Chain A
């Protein structure tokens, strides 16, 4: 295990490359969901408001 984590002396390079990839991919994947929730909530609110007119 210790040996695996050390990556033959390249631990800093290998793990940082994978960590950055994970962060960028997760952020990219989450973004549309956040936008969708915001947009759908705004639309539902507007429709409700239109009905109460």
Chain B
């Protein structure tokens, strides 16, 4: 079991299997997002309170949910890197940050656009909105910290520490609508047992959530693949994987 995991997490092995799985995930993501968008925009009934403005939910909720999941995954990878010094874990932490930042930005912008007709304001210094904005700054801080330190291992450790400290913000975002009197409505999806959304509106929402998930995985994997080639560019397996002819010939000659 452990030797299997160890092999799975070695950079050349990851490079090989991710080369197969990444395009598959990308196609699944594109299909889910396309179907979910068309369904959500054209084939769901109009909301009885919010009219057609509620359709923003199909981009806002998946982006907001995944902005938190990606952060947790990034902090988890960072912890694995700090504890066990697994290089691939740091590659993942680095690859998750930009996708997470993009999702957080989308959650904020689409939320603001939705807030205008619903609450009558683009922005309010409200608990949910403010803590989500802090999440964006955390992502940007982790990315900036990594790129500002010249020595790779030092940069990775600093970024990992900041990512882990930032985890305190995640429950604050999640429970902000319950702890404080927030403008933001309570959760639509995660209520156990009985979701607060009608099934006719829920299906495209689930499609979009899974679409965002596959988008994240495909995107993070392709970032990780570039990062690995960059870090291991002097290793022989990289030359072989990129089809360097001289390396292939030398190998053939050795046989």
Contacts and interface: CB of A to CB of B under 8 A. Distances in A.
Interface residues of B, number: 41
Interface in A1-53: 4, 7-10, 13-14, 16-18, 20-21, 24-25, 27-29, 31-33, 35-36, 39-40, 43-44, 47, 51
Given A25-B102, A32-B223, A36-B226, A17 B242 contact: no
B226 A21 contact: no
Contacts of B98: 28, 31
A36 B114 contact: no
Nearest to B221: A32
Contacts, number: 92
Contacts of B52: 7-10, 14
B215 A29 contact: yes
B242 A44 contact: yes
A14 B55 contact: yes
Contact of B246 (A25, A32, A40, A47): A47
Given A29-B219, A32-B223, A17 B102 contact: no
B149 interface: no
Given A18-B37, A43-B242, A32 B117 contact: no
28 contacts: A4-B42, A7-B52, A7-B53, A7-B55, A8-B46, A9-B51, A9-B52, A10-B52, A10-B117, A13-B113, A13-B114, A13-B117, A14-B55, A14-B56, A18-B37, A20-B106, A20-B113, A29-B215, A31-B223, A32-B219, A32-B222, A35-B223, A36-B222, A43-B229, A43-B242, A44-B244, A47-B239, A47-B247
